[in-house]
């Protein structure tokens, strides 16, 4: 199976680069399934119904989220009815939405997508490792699903890497989101699970992690809050990872993807 995971989509520049580049990418990479983190798609904070529909129309099959998933309160009115949008699985019981979904590709293959959120330097949620164990136990790779992708939305790279080792041999891909910077550690672990600490953001990189520079710089240098963060408005770069799996659902290849904008381009060849 050929899978494309796209990192955090940040505001209009992120959406525009997705709209411009993703149809071509899907055709070039012959993808079977595309997942994107959309928690920053609406002005940098949250996700609306209209923007979700816009993203699905570009060829995204499933949207994961993170700590900003409910910043646009309207999502609470439709997330229970939209199976293609996930919020972190380790939120307390009773919270709207779900944290995992089993989907079918056009060729009939089954893919489990699991959305988790870390706890180091973040909210004190339920244990993400216990949540991963529960989902992997109820839908094992090769039995319940032909591929399994885990989005670990976390601040600490150590927590992300620990999750990948915890799931090694039981998932096709464990990939980090949240820090908006593509890392250079794409690899396949000994058990066959592909990993990258952060897929990066889909945003204008003449910025501070996708946001206009002035306000973050002022907060660091003057220790004063001068206003709201806003997405930087220049050309965006689409960042993500491309993974191929074998018959057993484990990874045989992982490659970074970077197209558009100002970062050095990286386009896998088949």
**Residues that are catalytic:** 68
* Residue 166 dihedral angles phi and psi, to the nearest 5°: -60, -35
- Which are the contacts of 9, defined by CB distance < 8 A and separation ≥ 6? 15, 18, 36, 37, 38, 40, 41, 55, 201, 202, 203
Reference 144, options 153, 156, 135; nearest CA is: 135
Reduce the DSSP state of residue 162 to 3 states and report it.
helix
Reference 71, options 37, 55, 94, 48; nearest CA is: 48
CA dihedral (18, 19, 25, 31) positive or negative: positive
**Residue 81 has what DSSP assignment?**
G
Instruction: Provide the 10 A C-beta neighbour count for residue 81.
Output: 9
CA distance 252 to 193: 9
Reference 242, options 58, 23, 20, 30; nearest CA is: 30
Strands (E), 105-172: 110-117, 147-153
Q: What angle do CA 93, 110, 192 make, to 5 degrees?
A: 90
CA distance 202 to 239: 6
């Amino acid at each position: 199976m050929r899978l494309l995971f796209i990192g955090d989509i940040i505001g209009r520049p992120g959406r525009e680069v997705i709209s411009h580049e993703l149809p071509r990418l899907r055709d070039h990479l012959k993808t079977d399934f595309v997942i994107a983190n959309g928690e920053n798609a609406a002005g940098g904070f949250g996700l609306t119904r209209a923007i979700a529909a816009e993203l699905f129309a570009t060829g995204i099959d499933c949207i994961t989220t993170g700590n900003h998933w409910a910043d646009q309160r309207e999502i609470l009115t439709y997330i229970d009815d939209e199976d293609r949008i996930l919020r972190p699985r380790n939120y307390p019981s009773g919270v709207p939405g779900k944290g995992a979904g089993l989907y079918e590709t056009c060729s009939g293959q089954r893919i489990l997508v699991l959305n988790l959120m870390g706890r180091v330097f973040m909210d004190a949620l339920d244990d993400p490792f216990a949540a991963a164990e529960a989902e992997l136990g109820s839908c094992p790779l090769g039995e319940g699903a032909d591929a399994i992708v885990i989005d670990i939305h976390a601040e600490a790279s150590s927590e992300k890497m620990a999750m990948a080792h915890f799931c090694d041999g039981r998932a096709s891909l464990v990939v980090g989101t949240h820090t908006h910077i593509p890392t250079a550690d794409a690899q396949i672990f000994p058990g066959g699970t592909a990993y990258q600490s952060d897929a990066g953001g889909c945003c204008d990189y003449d910025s501070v992690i996708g946001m206009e520079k002035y306000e973050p710089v002022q907060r660091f240098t003057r220790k004063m809050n001068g206003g709201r963060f806003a997405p930087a408005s220049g050309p965006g770069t689409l960042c993500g990872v491309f993974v191929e799996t074998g018959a057993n659902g484990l990874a045989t290849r992982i490659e970074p993807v970077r197209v558009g904008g100002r970062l050095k381009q990286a386009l896998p060849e088949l």
